[in-house]
A and B are shown apart, each in its own frame.
Chain A
């Protein structure tokens, strides 16, 4: 009698469990579906840009200045501008970002002062990019009189990606195990020697990854550059960084006016003429391709370094 009811209730529980397991399977399907449709959007977007921009995706497009005639307009000044801005941004962000991260991770005492710096870094990561544009307009353009130049753009984007670089660098410094530091201290190394000779070399991969991610963010930023007053119609190139005479390097280009890829694209997108939309698609395909490439390199580097280092 009792055995029969136990048997029945076990049957019931089994039925119940198998019914509930259907939800499990259902959720896996729904989860995969949502995830892959999100990724599909990215693929569709890229393919569409390449398809629509195909008629303009050629060498001429890269070697011509912007023009009123859509079929003659190119992105020469835009990609040169973007390259020089990225160079400036990298040169400013790399030392400051890494130094700030080293301070916070290796030197900073645990007190309210350090807490303030840390809160600032996290908060800056959440400030909308257009606010950085307003900061640069008020500070660099009008206060320091730097004008609407490549230097201003580089400084602005540096401030924008500084939190990204600091956070990435800190994470990779934190991944270096304590015993390595302690061994170096035991041999009489000073704090800087420990950091420079042991911790930094191990974390170089992570720092590089963070830097690339930061730059890939900066390369697509449009709003702050528009806010500082970047022009979209620039039919000349900045002065060449390499000169014929000694010392062969010139920094005069830092003070030149500029346009950049995302600004050029925005300019074309906002024109009603459908011919210009082809140009916008072509510029977008190149811009998106560059961003995806940089992110791809970062992912690959992260993967490689993680695999190679066995503490």
Chain B
């Protein structure tokens, strides 16, 4: 009487087949969206290589890497990337001399000393520093920092790498600070407690336990900062001058790789001219430089995340 009839589930749930099919379709659409990232990378490499190939047919790689003059827009054109690389390195070094000490200090303070509430307020505020449009920073470097520096250093030209570099440094402080702070916060609390138990002060714990423990992450923060500084464009285009100049002196004007690309883009060179193709060659060099730093940075961050 009370015998229950076994019901077969298969096929009895209405629309299940349709829902499963819909899931399949949606999954492949989502995959397609994720693949956009892969295609973007491939497209960047493809475009840079294809557009700079004609350039390297005209200019030998040896000249490109060893010539000390970069004058692709002159009648007597020379194609040595060194002056642009030197300009890029000088502005980057100046930027790092600001961003590394400030960023590290802020990170140590926020991670080890600041009360919780203050950190909650300060962190987003610091991020604003990295959100300022770069062209506004360019104005800041040209119209405010340079006049100020001219009072300190008489004879400083209106365009110089020093003020551009200093401002880039301010700009990348938040990147350096936030990645270093993440690394310091990843140091487990028992290490701090061990240190306190031995009678160490906060300062001693921070400098002798936390910072050494977070070293690979802090290094990653510096390297990611370098990568940002190398690729920064508008600050140098506005404030450092657009004249390629092989010098290591930050008080001189000089063009960086990025500033050169902007300068050519502002003019109207025909598509098939060598000057036009030279910006892709310059872009390729820039891409390779940042790629090396990015890979190094990410490898190091991965290491600190796995360490504990």
Contacts and interface: CB of A to CB of B under 8 A. Distances in A.
A277 B143 contact: yes
Interface stretch (B16-24, B72-80, B149-157): B16-24
B126 A38 contact: yes
Contacts of B19: 190, 193
Interface string B209-251: 0000000000000001001101111100110000000000000
A222 B135 contact: yes
A30 interface: yes
What size tier do the contact residues of chain A reach? 35 or more
Interface string A129-151: 11111110111001000000000
Most chain A CB inside 10 Å of its own CB: which residue of B127, B134, B265:
B265
Contacts of B31: 103, 107
Contacts of A103: 27, 30-31, 33-34
A220 B131 CA distance: 9
A188 B134 CA distance: 51
A107 B26 CA distance: 11
At the interface, is chain B mostly helix, strand, loop or mixed? helix
Interface in A85-135: 95-97, 99-100, 102-104, 107-108, 116-117, 119-124, 126-135
B275 to A, nearest CB: 14
Nearest to A27: B203
A35 B109 CA distance: 9
A41 interface: yes
Contacts of A21: 201
A121 B39 CA distance: 11
A100 B203 contact: no
Interface stretch (B56-64, B100-108, B187-195): B100-108
Given A262-B133, A291-B133, A134 B102 contact: no
B199 interface: yes
B43 A139 contact: yes
Contacts of B290: 126-128, 131
Interface in A136-176: 137-139, 142, 159, 162-163, 166
B117 interface: no
A148 B34 CA distance: 27
Contacts of B203: 20, 23-24, 26-27
B105 A120 contact: no
B261 A135 contact: no
Contacts of B140: 45
Interface centre among A38, A116, A133 (most CB of B within 10 A): A38
A4 interface: no
A116 B38 CA distance: 8
A307 to B, nearest CB: 12
Interface stretch (A67-75, A199-207, A241-249, A280-288): A280-288
Interface string B102-137: 100110111001100000001011111101111110
A279 B228 CA distance: 29
Contacts of B286: 128, 130-131
Contact of B138 (A44, A131, A162, A266): A266
Interface string A19-36: 011011011101110110
A192 B25 CA distance: 10
A235 to B, nearest CB: 18
B173 interface: yes
Interface in B286-302: 286-287, 290-291, 293-295, 297-298
A163 B37 contact: yes
B106 A31 contact: yes
Contacts of B41: 120, 123-124
Interface stretch (A57-65, A177-185, A223-231, A250-258): A223-231
A38 to B, nearest CB: 6
B287 A131 contact: yes
A135 B44 contact: yes
A119 to B, nearest CB: 8
26 contacts: A17-B199, A23-B204, A31-B114, A38-B129, A39-B129, A45-B144, A99-B34, A100-B30, A107-B30, A124-B41, A130-B233, A130-B258, A131-B44, A134-B44, A135-B44, A138-B48, A138-B51, A139-B43, A188-B13, A191-B23, A220-B131, A220-B133, A222-B233, A227-B262, A227-B265, A291-B132
Given A38-B129, A96-B33, A288-B132, 18 more contacts: A23-B201, A27-B109, A34-B102, A41-B129, A41-B170, A97-B33, A99-B29, A99-B33, A120-B40, A121-B37, A133-B265, A266-B135, A277-B143, A281-B139, A284-B135, A291-B132, A291-B133, A295-B131
Q: Report, nearest first, the 10 A-B pairs whose CB atoms are least far apart.
A: A128-B231, A220-B133, A31-B109, A99-B33, A138-B47, A103-B30, A223-B233, A100-B34, A126-B294, A100-B33
